[in-house]
Amino acid sequence: MSRGRRLLDTAPMSGLASRLLALSLLCVAGVAGAQTPAVPAPAPAPAPADGAIHYLEEGESLSMLARVYGVPLSLLMARNGITTDEQLANLQIGAPIVVPGVKLSEITHKKPAARKGVTHQLAPGETLSELAKMYGVSVREIMTANRLSEDDASKLRDGKRLFLPGVEKNKQGKIERKPTRLERQALAKAKRLGLGSVAAAGRLLHGYVEERWSTAALEAGRFGGTLKWPVNKGWFTRGYGSGAGGYHKAMDIMSPLGTNVRAAANGIVGYSGDGLKGFGNMVMIVHAGGWVTLYAHNSINFAKAGQLVKRNDVIAEVGSTGRSMGPHVHFELIHENKNCDPAPLFRPGVKRRNGSLARIKYASWPRPGQRPEEVRCAKRTKHPLGHSVMNENPEVEATPVPEDPNAPDPAQHAPSEAPETNDHL
């Protein structure tokens, strides 16, 4: 192997940098003449059979591509082997992204939709999370488009001008984000099924799941009896039965603003919106067998009602909308008019702030009628101060993570049953 090749192979660098280096090496080889073999330019990524390649340009993010090409973000991530939020955030300019189901002629390299957007000047006290909600763009997308680090994002000054990617003004001057073809299809399906409305959300909140909803959910796959921990790097702050009188029949999972919220199990999105007071932006997923999972306070929801989701699919971004005092996910597991403690069902387990897993006895609930005794269920109760559901402050660790001295240590013993998908995350 020539010296030049080795250099290229070992140096970690952005696509652009490697292209420049390849160019300079080629020049050197040209001047040196016959003694030095010419260094071949790095071969372009081979054309995929299932789609076309989009080379990432400055200011572009994967969620932006998902929207431009009408492909679910989860599919883009899976096809390109991107599994963690870090990988997603650290994509380099020039990175080849395979867009499945798209022809090469449809790849929009120079401008159009990917570069469209509007500029917003921050008003006093305005936050990224508010902007995200206002324009229907994720916090992560705003950060990428404006080259903001986590630190920059937390120190934004009034008057700063921010670019909101993918947002357009319609003829009336109103700012809107057009749904993609797949989103329109999902919404139409939700309408046919009677899902997606605030009324449907109200029913799901009590675990009233119509037979046809459960059947539709089965198209995404069966409910395997366990739940995926919905925020990879998130940590437990409040558990089931915490708060005065044990009103909090849910779990709070804290995580930095803009990290991904993922589906805990296969199902169909039954509701995605902010129509229920207190919950902010909320997603509800109906699972085959009649379970419902709920993910509240998101900065933005990606999933649309009627969309089929697989366990681990990205459905929203962590935020602090609704009755919430800090970025976190309020997670509920609902079944037959009762809220149930999800803790024993989580895989790989309930995570603590330092990343370790709490010692909780694992349980599995694969059939509705066979609830394991470790999973407590009770009717939803009102907040003692008269708030309808919750009064969320994720900083308050209202109850410690439940500890079972007889439980196996999840950090050392993997759950006995095989995980459904992607449980290595």
Of 26-34, 68-76, 252-260, 304-312: span binding Zn ion (CB under 5 A): 252-260
Residue 166 or 280: the one with the smaller Cβ distance to Zn ion is: 280
Residue 214 or 255: the one with the smaller Cβ distance to Zn ion is: 255
Minimum distance of Zn ion from residue 331's CB (angstroms): 8
Please list every residue from 159 through 178 that binds Zn ion, using CB under 5 A.
none
Of 16-24, 112-120, 247-255, 404-412: span binding Zn ion (CB under 5 A): 247-255
The count of chain residues that interact with Zn ion, using the rule CB under 5 A, is 5
Of 55-63, 242-250, 273-281, 350-358: span binding Zn ion (CB under 5 A): 242-250
Residue 226 or 339: the one with the smaller Cβ distance to Zn ion is: 339
By C-alpha distance, which of 162, 130, 124 is closest to 320? 130
**Residue nearest to Zn ion as judged by C-beta position:** 330
Of 226-234, 245-253, 339-347, 352-360: span binding Zn ion (CB under 5 A): 245-253
Residue 330 sits in the site that holds Zn ion (CB under 5 A): yes
Minimum distance of Zn ion from residue 362's CB (angstroms): 23
Residue 252 sits in the site that holds Zn ion (CB under 5 A): yes
Minimum distance of Zn ion from residue 242's CB (angstroms): 8
Residue 332 sits in the site that holds Zn ion (CB under 5 A): no
Which of 250, 308, 333, 334 forms a contact with Zn ion (CB under 5 A)? 250
Of 56-64, 69-77, 114-122, 387-395: span binding Zn ion (CB under 5 A): 387-395
Minimum distance of Zn ion from residue 250's CB (angstroms): 5
Residue 102 or 389: the one with the smaller Cβ distance to Zn ion is: 389
Residue ranges binding Zn ion (CB under 5 A): 250, 252, 330, 390, 392
